[in-house]
């Protein structure tokens, strides 16, 4: 991993340690298209292409606002006797998406937002079910009722309504819960809206799996909801499916 150089205004800056380079990328100073060169190499490449060698996946890597330019220096690094001159630079890439950087949404914000959105459909379900269970006095009776066609139909209807709600509003960026918590769903690369198709991909397993795949579905939802706690990009599994991230707004 060693030492690295990066390009600013057509000149090579460095050497810098690998950890320092990663820090510059994480805070938005360097963007995915910033040209970098590792010690011993003769070819400039983008920071995005160097992720594997750096041993890190940069969160929300492609929405910098203060990132350095994409043109590598014409000559060799300023230090490093014996290095060969770099090969011809790659063509100019499109400019990065405008903005001043983003902050990934904390796990607790996502959890509270999802809880608020769930209440919108859990409360009506409870109101519909309450008259049915008012006379139930034993656990066995409750289990029997949970397997009736009426309860399953109510569950399916609420799940379908929830899916439509999540897809339509997440396609635009925010459900009610996300709006209240100041977070938004975005494309993980461009920062744009994900659209209806990817919003459906994002939500269908999260909502339908517990209904149609008993036990395993519930386990999936728990693992999926906890995944952002250890993921480098704060993504849940359904985010990875849809290539989306959840970010702070403002």
CA 16 from chain centre, in angstroms, equals 29
Contacts of 37 (CB under 8 A, 6+ apart): 4, 5, 6, 12, 43, 44, 45, 72, 77, 86
How many CB atoms sit inside 10 A of residue 158's CB?
19
The DSSP 8-state label assigned to residue 84 in this structure reads P
pLDDT at 81: 38
Q: What is the mean pLDDT of residues 144-151?
A: 81
**Residue 199, pLDDT above cutoff 80:** yes
CA 212 from chain centre, in angstroms, equals 26
Name the residue with higher pLDDT: 195 or 102: 195
Least confident of 52-66, 75-89, 143-157: 75-89
pLDDT at 17: 81
**Residue 175, pLDDT above cutoff 50:** yes
pLDDT at 183: 92
Confidence class of residue 116 from pLDDT cuts 50, 70 and 90?
A: very high
Q: What is the pTM of this model?
A: 0.56
Q: What is the mean pLDDT of residues 182-209?
A: 87
Name the residue with higher pLDDT: 250 or 12: 12
Confidence class of residue 34 from pLDDT cuts 50, 70 and 90?
A: confident
Name the residue with higher pLDDT: 10 or 78: 10
Q: What is the mean pLDDT of residues 218-245?
A: 88
pLDDT > 70: what percent of the chain? 79
pLDDT at 104: 87
Q: Could you give the CA distance from residue 71 to residue 61 in angstroms, rounded to a whole number? A: 18
Q: Please state whether the peptide bond connecting residue 82 to the residue before it is cis, i.e. omega within 30 degrees of 0.
A: no
Confidence class of residue 212 from pLDDT cuts 50, 70 and 90?
A: confident
Q: What is the mean pLDDT of residues 135-147?
A: 80
The overall average pLDDT reported for the chain is 77
Confidence class of residue 182 from pLDDT cuts 50, 70 and 90?
A: very high
Confidence class of residue 70 from pLDDT cuts 50, 70 and 90?
A: low
H or E element that contains 37? strand 35-38
Name the residue with higher pLDDT: 54 or 60: 54
Q: Could you give the CA distance from residue 104 to residue 129 in angstroms, rounded to a whole number? A: 38
């Amino acid at each position: 991993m060693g030492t690295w150089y990066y390009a600013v205004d057509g000149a090579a800056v460095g050497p810098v340690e690998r950890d320092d380079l990663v820090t510059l990328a994480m805070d938005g100073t360097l963007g995915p298209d910033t040209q970098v060169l590792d010690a011993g190499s003769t070819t400039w490449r983008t920071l995005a292409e160097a992720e594997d060698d750096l041993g890190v996946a940069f969160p929300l890597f492609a929405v910098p606002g203060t990132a350095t330019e994409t043109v590598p220096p014409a000559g060799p690094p300023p230090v490093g006797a014996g290095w060969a001159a770099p090969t011809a630079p790659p063509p100019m890439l499109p400019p990065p998406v405008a903005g001043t950087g983003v902050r990934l949404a904390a796990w607790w914000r996502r959890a509270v937002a999802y809880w608020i959105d769930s209440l919108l459909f859990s409360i009506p379900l409870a109101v519909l079910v309450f008259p049915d269970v008012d006379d139930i006095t034993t656990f066995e009776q409750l289990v029997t009722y949970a397997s009736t066609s009426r309860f399953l139909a109510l569950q399916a209807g609420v799940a379908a309504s929830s899916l439509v709600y999540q897809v339509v509003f997440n396609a635009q960026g925010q459900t009610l819960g996300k709006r209240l918590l100041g977070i938004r769903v975005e494309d993980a690369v461009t920062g744009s809206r994900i659209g209806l198709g990817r919003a459906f991909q994002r939500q269908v397993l999260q909502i339908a799996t517990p209904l149609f795949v008993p036990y395993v579905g519930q386990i999936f939802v728990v693992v999926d909801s906890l995944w952002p706690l250890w993921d480098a990009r704060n993504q849940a599994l359904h985010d990875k499916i849809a290539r989306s991230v959840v970010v702070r707004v403002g």
